Amino acid sequence: MYRNGEGVPQDNAKALKWFHKAAEQGVAAAQTCVGFIYQEGECVPQDNVKALKWFKKVAEQGDVTAQTYVGSIYQEGNGVPQDNVKALKWFKKAAEQGHAAAQRYIGFIYHEGEGVPQDYMKALAWFHEAAKQGDAAAQNGIGLMYQNGEGVVPDREEALRWYLKAAAQGDVDAEYNLGCMHKNNRLGDSRRDCAEAVRWFTKAAIQGDEVARDELSELAVQ
């Protein structure tokens, strides 16, 4: 109530006080809220160490969202030493419970070889797990792997299929990648490809992709 100002004046300090009381009694939702308050610095100095402490309490109860947040904090090194091994540990806890974002994060860890040997087959497998649940970034990741032949035989049509799945959900990276495929005339029809490149770069540019805007400028003078 105090955090959102529902029926009372909005007051983050009072919200934190009551969340703390509930959090100390083990209420997971309150622990999550305290974590967010410290992470965002709402009415208190921003403190990722305290945020991590509270997220961990929830994560240890099996909450997949909290497990993913803990993994992200370790992966990015926000207020703690960056540690891809710990990040992978927490992502796996969530991923094994079917959390799509955690599955995607694991895919990127194996794709880039962050704290583990680079393994395209594991990356692709985890991307597929997330993509089954409609995760657009994972779908785009699969498209990139087929386009670049990473762990698979290069396949432009398969790359296109996955990019289109992601772009249909508004994924800006997929929109940009589709623009690039058409710009580079990788799909066989130069006139259609130019128009399609402009269409996809425009979609990405509208979402703020600066590189897509540069591509549009380049196409305009050709």
Number of domain units in the chain:
2
68 domain-assigned: no
Q: What is the pLDDT of residues 157-209, one digit of tens each?
A: 999 999 999 999 999 999 999 999 998 875 555 666 888 999 999 999 999 99
Structure pTM?
A: 0.84
What contacts 134, CB < 8 A, 6 or more positions away? 100, 169
86 domain-assigned: no
The CATH number linked to 8 is 1.25.40.10
Can you give the pLDDT at residue 134?
97
User: Same structural domain for residues 222 and 138?
Assistant: yes
140 domain-assigned: yes
Q: Which domain holds residue 3?
A: 1-61
